[in-house]
Amino acid sequence: MRLRLLLWLLTWLALCTVFAMGFLVGRNDGIWPHTTKYVAVAPSKSRPSSPSATPPLPDWLAALLPTQQDDADNPTDIDPVASYEDLMYAQPDLVDASLHHLRAHTSGTIDLYALGFAGDGDENVFRNEVDYLPKLLAQRFGAGGRTVQLINSPDTFNRTPLATRTNLYETLSGIAKTMDPNEDILLLFLTSHGSHDHQLYVAMGAMPLDQLTPTDIRDALDAAHIRWRVVVISACYSGGFIPALREPHTMIVTAARSDRTSFGCGSDSQITWFGKAFLTQALNQTTDFHDAYLQASQTIASWEKRDRETPSEPQFWEGSLIQQHLDTWRASLTPGAPVAFVPATTPNTLPPRNAGR
């Protein structure tokens, strides 16, 4: 019995020895599967190109890469992107470049600053509105050099920061460092599709971007410590954003009530009905945002009646303190001549999306 047990132990030790030797030899020969050790490498601004390791680009992205330029109108030091990862990697530098050219606060006055957010890269209609915004505010509202744009578009992605939740937070924080956040006024203009559950549609090709909620917008404004706010939301169901944004220093204008759609988007449109009525018509006649809302509401109602559409019913809300501050700002304002709306001439290069406004 003891001899049998001794033989069994010797056999077991021999097998273990053979197995261990085979493991070591196998690893050296590359036969035995082994794991790769990943080492973190600090990123570099100048990223090396490795075409063999990069998956094929979408046609719309690859076709636009050679068009990037560093010119006086669109100053940027951003390298051409080669993938979606490169595009996201470039965002902090694009945001910094946009903020770098922001005009400083004028001591002793109330200045107007603005941020335009065009959420859907599939349709030029949203880009057109945000592209028009700085021209209007510079000539009519004395805000030249004080507007920043976040745009999802295949025609602007290599020189303008994307309209994303992260860029919204970072840009508002950067604007607050240039303006006087306790005295100056921020106009936040957001335009895109809106959903029944009150989210602003954010899309750029196939990139997995987060949608924008009312809480996101409120948190971004609060985190930047910007006191005086005029928030304009051009989207379906945008009235549903009002409850989260209410506070005494805020004025809110929306294109529709919480359970209604608004009109005028689509790949064939140049501007939404609300954008046309509020931006290009009403604000070219008045510098009072409440008056502009009233004019735009009447104009849109007439268009909806003409086309037998269900009324969108644009909404308005103002906090108890904001109107007096706006009146003080307007008292020192000398509005310029009306600004003609000229849409972007580049057609959409992304396939149209059958999404509701």
pLDDT of residue 64: 44
154: pLDDT strictly greater than 80? yes
Q: Is the dihedral of CA 232, 233, 237, 241 positive or negative?
A: negative
18: pLDDT strictly greater than 90? no
What's the CATH number where 117 sits?
Answer: 3.40.50.1460
Of 37 and 23, more confident? 23
pLDDT of residue 294: 98
DSSP-H helix ranges across 70-200: 84-89, 91-100, 124-140, 165-178
- Read off the pLDDT of each residue in 32-51 and give the average, rounded to a whole number: 29
46: confidence class by pLDDT, cuts 50, 70, 90: very low
Give the DSSP per-residue string, 335-350. Answer: -----------SPP-S
- Read off the pLDDT of each residue in 45-74 and give the average, rounded to a whole number: 40
322: pLDDT strictly greater than 60? yes
Tokens of 311: 């009324």
Give the rounded percent of residues in the chain with a pLDDT score beyond 90: 65
pLDDT tens track for 174-225? 999 999 999 999 999 999 999 999 999 999 988 889 999 999 999 999 999 9
Q: At what angle do helices 165-178 and 91-100 cross, to 10 degrees?
A: 30
pLDDT of residue 63: 47
Residue 78 forms part of a structural domain: no
DSSP run (H or E) holding 328: helix 322-331
- Read off the pLDDT of each residue in 14-40 and give the average, rounded to a whole number: 38
- Mean pLDDT over each residue of the chain, to the nearest integer: 81
pLDDT tens track for 236-253? 999 999 999 999 999 999
The range of the structural domain enclosing residue 242 comes to: 109-331
Residue 294 forms part of a structural domain: yes
* Phi, psi angles (nearest 5°) of residue 170: -65, -40
Residue 345 forms part of a structural domain: no
- CA dist 255 and 350 (Å) reads 25
- Read off the pLDDT of each residue in 15-25 and give the average, rounded to a whole number: 46
41: confidence class by pLDDT, cuts 50, 70, 90: very low
pLDDT of residue 3: 52
Confidence (pTM): 0.76
- Read off the pLDDT of each residue in 147-175 and give the average, rounded to a whole number: 95
- CA dist 25 and 27 (Å) reads 5
pLDDT tens track for 258-299? 999 999 887 778 999 999 999 999 999 999 999 999 999 999
- CA dist 145 and 356 (Å) reads 34
Residue 152 forms part of a structural domain: yes
pLDDT of residue 13: 59
**CB count, 10 Å around CB of 148?**
24
pLDDT of residue 158: 86
73: confidence class by pLDDT, cuts 50, 70, 90: very low
pLDDT of residue 14: 56
pLDDT of residue 269: 83
Q: Is the dihedral of CA 44, 50, 55, 59 positive or negative?
A: positive
Looking at the structure of the chain, the number of domains it has is: 1
32: pLDDT strictly greater than 80? no
DSSP 281: I
User: How long a stretch of residues is the chain?
Assistant: 357
Residue 71 forms part of a structural domain: no
Residue 51 forms part of a structural domain: no
2: pLDDT strictly greater than 80? no
84: confidence class by pLDDT, cuts 50, 70, 90: confident
Residue 233 forms part of a structural domain: yes
Residue 65, amino acid: L
Quick check: 75 and 98 in contact, CB under 8 A? no
Tokens of 238: 């945008």
Residue 188 forms part of a structural domain: yes
Quick check: 145 and 138 in contact, CB under 8 A? yes
